[in-house]
Amino acid sequence: MRVTRIGGPTAFVEWEGWRILTDPTFDPPGRTYSFGFGTSSRKLTGPAVTLDELSPVDVALVSHHQHADNLDDAGRAGLASVGTVLTTVAGAKAIAHRDVRGLRAGESVTFTASGRPDLTITATPGRHGAVVTRPIVGPVVGFALTLEGARHPGLWMTGDTVISRPLRRYAKNLAPDVALVHMGAVRFGISGALRYTMDAREALELIALARPGTVVPIHVEGWSHFSQQEDATRDVLEGAPVAVARTVRWLPLGEAVELP
């Protein structure tokens, strides 16, 4: 598997002939985006790779459509060149695309193509903040990707989420080969201490439950509403118990890296 970290939550995965893009964000930096209810965030850095450099893309995984740090204007426009878009049920109603499919947690879709192993993608549980904020922030899912014949997922993208009981149950002994773990500890001044994504300590709890072979931290830089940016996240992860810390792999932005 080869993974390119593009920036924010966006990554590109090349795996057994399949080309997969996660949470497309390709706008240039500098703009401030409204997230509703008096919240906003400024995009601080642009993508390390252009969308044109990634074509063709078979599947785009959109954890949720309603926030620009996971699907910005250029990312949304770029979906036109993608074969299939997988997202939430609400996202499938809001994204204009010839083949957009909405999944609830636990639902799966299988892709087949000549010369490639079948690829099954399953939506996984997510909660984008405290229970009371769900009517405001909306639904979110992660995605687990499994090749035919495999016992465990080869890739798990958590999506923007905090720790919850359904997520703990799902993650226990999942043992994906690679986990793209969204962190950043998203906060907004108007909602005080409430967090809308995991901080690094929560991520460590999830990693210990899921036991991935390799952890790739993403969603840790590039936006002003990430209250725990990359350097602070590194400090926490590097101080974790050795068995967990040694699974963490920081990928340089814009560079395709082969992962075991």
Q: Where are the domains of the chain?
A: 2-258
Quote the CA–CA distance of 208 and 170 in Å, as a whole number: 13
H/E element, 74? helix 73-78
Question: What would the CATH number be for the domain defined by 2-258?
Answer: 3.60.15.10
Local structure of residue 52 (DSSP, 8 states): G
**Cβ(128)–Cβ(64) under 8 Å?**
yes
Local structure of residue 87 (DSSP, 8 states): E
pTM score above 0.85? yes
Tokens found for residue 198: 């995991």
Q: Give me the half-sphere count of Cα atoms (radius 13 Å) on the Cβ side of residue 206.
A: 32
Tokens found for residue 195: 């967090």
Is the bond preceding residue 28 a cis peptide, omega within 30 degrees?
no
pLDDT per residue, tens digit, the chain (260 aa), is 999 999 999 999 999 999 999 999 999 999 999 988 889 999 999 999 999 999 999 999 999 999 999 999 999 999 999 999 999 999 999 999 999 999 999 999 999 999 999 999 999 999 999 887 777 789 999 999 999 999 999 999 999 999 999 999 999 999 999 999 999 999 998 888 889 999 999 999 999 999 999 999 999 999 999 999 999 999 999 999 988 889 999 999 999 999 98
